[in-house]
Amino acid sequence: MNLFVPGRLCLFGEHSDWAGKYRTMNADIVPGMAIVTGVEQGIEATAEASERFEVTCSAPELTELWHDFSCDMDSAKLKEIARSGNFFAYCAGVASYMMEWYNVGGVKINITSMTLPMKSGLSSSAAICVLVARAFNLLYNLNLNTMGEMNIAYVGELRTSSRCGRLDQACAFGVKPVLMTFDGEEMDVQPLNVRKDLYWVFADLCAEKDTIRILADLNKGYPFASDEKERNEHWALGEGNRELINRAVEYIANGDAEKLGMLMREAQNTFDEKIAPLCPKELTAPKLHKILSDEYIQTLTWGGKGVGSQGDGSIQFLAKDKVCQDRLISYLTEIGLRPYKLTIKAVHSVRKAIIPVAGFGTRLYPATRCLKKDFFPIVDKDGLVKPVIMILLEELINSGIEEICLVLGSEEERKQYKEFFETRLSSEHFNKLNAAAQEYENKILNIGKRLRYVYQKEKLGFGHAVYQCNEFVNGDPVILLLGDTLYHSFSNKPCALQLIEAYEKYNKPMISIHDIPLAVVSHYGVVSGIWENKEETLLNMTTFCEKPKAAFAEEHLGVKTKDGITKYFSVFGQYILTSEVFEQLGENIRNYNGTGEVELTTALEQVRNKVGMIGVRLNGKMYDMGNVNAFRKTIAEY
């Protein structure tokens, strides 16, 4: 398998990870908070199972410095290497932990590319530790979630001479910013919404600093402050940092780059005033401050600050735009620094939706001879009798969707939608309606303006139907709802909005899920995986199986909950599809040999293997309209 783990850059909140850990000894310490992101530079590798633990290299960046490493899967030998101090110490530290706590064989890792600079404040050591933990996890199906990989990487690195912080392993979450909270031994990680592209530049100052000295001096003030300087440090890493981080999260979510840049300058000033006096020899940092005050750089950036432990190690800037980012890279290179580009991409909000309604509705015959099943009437929660499709469209509109594409079986079917959504009632009928109903009539017509139509003229499967919307989607993320399913939210957020908000944090394909009895799994698509959060609402999917037998599901597809119960999860009927899904559907259609159908499930499983996929446990209930019994239940309960 192919693996990539980036380096990490701490945007705000450096030092707060170890400071927050001291809450185990002093409850008055404010939990630490930091905003950390993976960078574009990292380590690429291939991994395969092996009898031994081996690390080889074919990366052109390292060929002159590299010698291959190989060791028996022996805990004592691996621990000895971990204490040796060389680059492989980090790999061996993680491998020794895996050997002790998991029943695993060896792993052979070949590093194919190393674009991540070492000893530049970007945690190359944490990246290699996460990469090794991930290789063991995936090759031996250990079912560790991202936090599990992070924790093993952290413990593995602690087995070396390194004294890494907890925020270093944030690289496990990839190239996106996350909010990390450190409360004693507890750590929480939350992905952040990014409203607009942010153009970062960070650079190695090509100077010297003593990180061990910095950490030693700053740790003297913990867990209890003994003088004014140490009280200032507690405030700066605690209450002051928390207030600053909360503003940073807000500015990132709003896409306010100018305010975010000003906040970087404020953070640096606070550090210089409140923390640097504890280690003046290292934190006076003349080169850092000379570059920060460069007048030309200030014309290109909204702000800048130090990186990591601070000192004359590395520097970071938020450029005003892409042109300024490129100019800044060129200028920093000219003055002898080693700069790197980081563009934190905005997560595009989901503004488009798809509803396939091309089926005849055989199981609801003969009513479907005269009325498409998505026009069957249902009493909605507001007491109005509405067609199913109207309830679905209102859910989407209330979730911020601007355009909806309906997949029909033929142009002939369009007549029913045109009559309902585009044709005004006659004056005779309209005038009989009360004021509220007349207003609702206008709502129907306004929704009609958002509708687009495509046609599945060949019935080659559900995946083929969805792919007819490829031109409509145009590479944007899109939410897919089923045309014969209704969704009831148990909160004030529609189910569709819950799913969209999850996507905006994780930026991955999403499938809504709900638990079902083991006895009925053979009727559904069943997913399995590892919980990504404590609330057990986000499932990092490892398997997607269409209509498995109960015995197979019991052995392979159960998901343990925090109360020890094994549950089985099926698709809830809402999906967030990304460009990768449509590319895969297109490939599957091109390779279609006329046997079977082009299934969406197949494409989703293929995409999950490539980029990952999240199952989202929504706070709501689904109502199926696809057969007589389900329709009867929906009428009675919805």
Alpha helices in 196-304 (DSSP H): 211-219, 228-237, 239-254, 257-270, 280-283, 286-292, 295-300
153-194 pLDDT tens trace: 999 988 987 767 788 888 888 888 999 999 998 999 988 888
Q: Which residue has tokens 């990180």? A: 211
Q: What is the C-alpha separation between 287 and 299, in angstroms, rounded?
A: 19
Same domain, 310 and 415: no
Tell me whether the omega of the peptide bond preceding residue 509 falls within 30 degrees of 0, making it cis.
Answer: no
Residue 353 has pLDDT above 90, yes or no: yes
What would the mean pLDDT of 570-586 be, rounded to a whole number?
94
What would the mean pLDDT of 253-277 be, rounded to a whole number?
96
What would the mean pLDDT of 58-80 be, rounded to a whole number?
84
Share of the chain above pLDDT 70, in %: 98
Residue 88 confidence (pLDDT): 79
Same domain, 470 and 617: yes
Contact 153, 164 (CB under 8 A): no
Share of the chain above pLDDT 90, in %: 63
For the chain, the average pLDDT equals 91
Q: Which helix (H) or strand (E) holds 600?
A: helix 600-611
Same domain, 112 and 27: yes
Same domain, 122 and 186: yes
602-618 pLDDT tens trace: 999 999 988 889 999 99
Residue 349 confidence (pLDDT): 80
Same domain, 338 and 357: no
Same domain, 398 and 511: yes
Burial of 110 (0-12, 13-18, 19+ CB in 10 A): middle
Same domain, 187 and 304: no
Token pair for residue 341? 């580009």
Residue 63 has pLDDT above 70, yes or no: no
CATH number (domain holding residue 271): 3.30.70.890
Residue 30 to residues 216, 221, 227, 243, 398, Cα–Cα distance (Å): 20, 14, 18, 11, 39
Confidence of residue 631 (pLDDT cuts 50, 70, 90): confident
Residue 14 has pLDDT above 70, yes or no: yes
What would the mean pLDDT of 382-395 be, rounded to a whole number?
92
Confidence of residue 269 (pLDDT cuts 50, 70, 90): very high
Helix, strand, coil percentages in the chain from 3-state DSSP, rounded to 5: 45, 25, 30
Burial of 76 (0-12, 13-18, 19+ CB in 10 A): exposed
| Number of domains, the chain | 3
Same domain, 10 and 78: yes
CATH number (domain holding residue 527): 3.90.550.10
Residue 638 has pLDDT above 90, yes or no: no
Q: Which of 299, 319, 344 is the last residue of a domain?
A: 344
Residue 251 confidence (pLDDT): 96
Residue 637 confidence (pLDDT): 85
Q: Which residue has tokens 């185990």? A: 24
Same domain, 405 and 269: no
Residue 120 confidence (pLDDT): 63
Same domain, 485 and 587: yes
206-258 pLDDT tens trace: 998 888 899 999 999 999 999 999 999 999 999 999 999 999 999 998 999 99
Q: What is the C-alpha separation between 603 and 587, in angstroms, rounded?
A: 9
Q: In terms of Cα–Cα distance, which of 5, 315, 334, 356 is closest to 153?
A: 5
Confidence of residue 201 (pLDDT cuts 50, 70, 90): very high
Residue 65 confidence (pLDDT): 66
Q: Which of 344, 365, 391 is the last residue of a domain?
A: 344
Residue 193 confidence (pLDDT): 83
Q: What is the C-alpha separation between 291 and 276, in angstroms, rounded?
A: 18
**Total Cβ atoms within 10 A of residue 378:** 18
Residue 559 confidence (pLDDT): 94
Q: Which residue has tokens 């045109």? A: 418
500-535 pLDDT tens trace: 999 988 888 999 999 999 999 998 889 999 998 889
Q: Which of 315, 344, 373 is the last residue of a domain?
A: 344
List Cβ neighbours of 579 (8 Å cut-off, separation of 6 or more).
Answer: 473, 475, 476, 477
Q: In terms of Cα–Cα distance, which of 218, 202, 191 is closest to 10?
A: 202
DSSP 166-219: GGGGGGGG-SSEEEEEEETTEEEEEE----S-EEEEEEE--S---HHHHHHHHH
Q: Which domain holds residue 356?
A: 352-637
Confidence of residue 285 (pLDDT cuts 50, 70, 90): very high
Same domain, 447 and 576: yes
Contact 177, 36 (CB under 8 A): yes
Residue 119 has pLDDT above 70, yes or no: no
120-163 pLDDT tens trace: 667 788 899 999 999 999 899 888 888 899 999 999 988 987 76
Residue 570 confidence (pLDDT): 93
Residue 609 confidence (pLDDT): 84
CATH number (domain holding residue 26): 3.30.230.10
Residue 64 confidence (pLDDT): 66
Q: What is the C-alpha separation between 162 and 140, in angstroms, rounded?
A: 27
Same domain, 121 and 187: yes
438-484 pLDDT tens trace: 888 889 999 999 999 999 988 899 999 999 999 999 999 999 999 88
Residue 386 has pLDDT above 80, yes or no: yes
